[in-house]
Amino acid sequence: MRYRFDRFTFDPSRGLFRDDEAIPLEPRALDLLHYFLNENERIISREELCDALWDGKIVSDAAISTQIRSIRKALHDDREQQRFIKTYPRRGFSFVAPVKVDEAPQTLEDRIAISRAERPASGDNRAGRTAIPAGLGRYTAIAAAIALAIVAYVFWQDSSSEVAGVAKPPGPSIAVLPFDNLSGDESKTYLADAFTEDLITDLSRIRDAFVISRSTSFTYRDKNVGASQVAADLGVRYVLEGSVRLEGDRVRVNAQLIDGENDSHLWSERYDRPVADLFELQGNVTGQIASVLRAELRKADLDRQDPELMDNAWDYALRGNVLLYNHQSVTDYQEAYALLTKATELDPGIASAWGGLAFVHLVGSLANVPGVSRADSAQLSLETALKATQADPMNAEPYWLVGAGYARMGQPELGMPACRTAMDLNPNLDCGYVCAGLVHMASDEPEKAIPYFEYALELNPRFRPFTKEKYLGLAHIQSNQNDLAIAALERALATAPQDSFANLAMASALALDGRVEAASELLDRYFSGTGASRPSVESLRSSLGWMGAGTEDMLRGLSEAGL
């Protein structure tokens, strides 16, 4: 059965499509859309949605509104127009667009695609999980991205900590304390609670993380207990606390991450937004906080490790991934490669080591890495990434290299399903959106790539933003939007002035914008300042051609700049 409305098609077994393009939605949102389409034009209360989709559990209004917001975004709808989902205050929601139900049998192509995907286990309500192509076999829990500076899958904690004889997960341990309501109105406490609840949910998606439950965290409401005492009481390393204040038409959210061992502040941020839609705002802010905290928790735990004490497979993998995370030069890749290889020799089932090797091979396919064969690196990157998925098929983050490998091998059509699943499994994982953007560029669809890069920046603006900005700049070059390309590349160079790709892309954008002299001066300044040798246009065509036919526009600009 399929549902058709406007330019969209929804197939419960395959997901949401606009014309022929699949639209990424997380499983809960797909379930919600399916329910709306089944009940077309009927007003559905929040209570009914809880019963139908959350098994009768009481969930916050914010949780429901977050899913509705994601559906509206996918349908290019909003609260003002409400062309598809209409909100009836104090009554519920209704899908109001005309829907045609097509009960024609599936095509042979559809049946083959679905038969290749692993069906959800009994009791799994994740209808609409994207079918995975034959190249990925049975591993449907795939997440993909190609943000080359990001290694986003190592989350560690002292392995010795146990509670009641049960070992904790090896990742970071954290308690999210109830956010304080500073609005001066006790009736607004629900908003602070919603922020807290959604942060607990989002952080719980971190692989191997140990996140204290809501019921325990909320026992600390209105108690004057220091973060170090909370950490000691609950057996966690980190404590997140914050506040919410409503003032007129503005809402202000403060959050800070504290190391419970020494009471030091690792990170803090303040968000100041118009109220407009409180629930939509709550979803946006909690998503951004959770995304940033992932990077901060990862960095804090990696920095704590003592490589001198490590001598087993897990430790070799950790040491290799620490080098990748904090890499400063190609020699770091070489040393990481040796450590990660040793880890896989000691334990062939260690997913993080295979994922790290896949990353090194991917870098090796784009640049010269000592000890890594450039000729075979693209293929090896894909093969080792798939080994990582076999070692831990339910871990979303290592799979980003699967999509990267397919794109690098010139098969972006096989990479896109991986990106979609990444975004389904973790809607706040920025590298999943970077992957989708790069796959669209590799598919000669730069205009479709741009919103993915922009959303990745919105999700995680603090961690290596230049990686996303420079790819955004290239997408704008490929879309003949040179002024926007220059703006994005200026932001990239502001944080990474020596990045070769960003400098080359900027020189090209300037030349294509008619500023040939400025482009030529930029190239001279970069190569004289770094001592790097000037590549030929032909060598760049060989290394960058996989990023789509639009790369020729960048090469044309570089030729005009005198490269």
- Report CA dihedral (510, 514, 516, 517) to the nearest 10 degrees: -100
Q: Check: pTM over 0.75? Answer yes or no.
A: no
Q: Report whether pLDDT(152) > 60.
A: no
Q: Which domains does the chain have, with CATH numbers?
A: 2-131 (1.10.10.10), 162-287 (3.40.50.10610), 464-563 (1.25.40.10)
- Segment 91-138, tens digit of pLDDT: 889 999 999 887 544 432 343 233 333 322 323 333 332 232 333 222
Residue burial 252-281, b: 16+ Cβ < 10 Å; e: rest: ebbbbbbbbeeeeebbebebebeeeebbbb
Query: What is the DSSP annotation of 317-329?
Result: HHHHHHHHHT--S
* DSSP-based three-state secondary structure for 406: helix
What would the two tokens of residue 496 be? 């990474």
Q: Report whether pLDDT(26) > 80.
A: no
Q: How far apart are CA 393 and CA 425, in angstroms?
A: 12
Euclidean distance between the first and the last CA atom of the chain, given in angstroms as a whole number = 56
Contact (Cβ atoms closer than 8 angstroms) between residue 149 and residue 464: yes
Q: Report whether pLDDT(89) > 50.
A: yes
Mean pLDDT, range 394-417, rounded to an integer: 82
Q: How far apart are CA 370 and CA 136, in angstroms?
A: 30
The distance from CA 118 to its chain's CA centroid, rounded to whole angstroms, is 23
- Segment 44-84, tens digit of pLDDT: 988 888 888 876 665 656 667 778 888 988 898 876 778 89
Mean pLDDT, range 384-401, rounded to an integer: 77
- With a CB cutoff of 8 Å and minimum separation 6, the contacts of 109 are none
One-letter amino acid at 513 equals D
Contact (Cβ atoms closer than 8 angstroms) between residue 472 and residue 450: yes
Quote the pLDDT of residue 57: 61
- Segment 307-320, tens digit of pLDDT: 444 457 777 887 78
Q: How far apart are CA 513 and CA 493, in angstroms?
A: 18
Quote the pLDDT of residue 113: 38
Contact (Cβ atoms closer than 8 angstroms) between residue 442 and residue 403: no
Q: Report whether pLDDT(515) > 90.
A: yes
C-alpha count within 13 angstroms, C-beta hemisphere, residue 442: 25
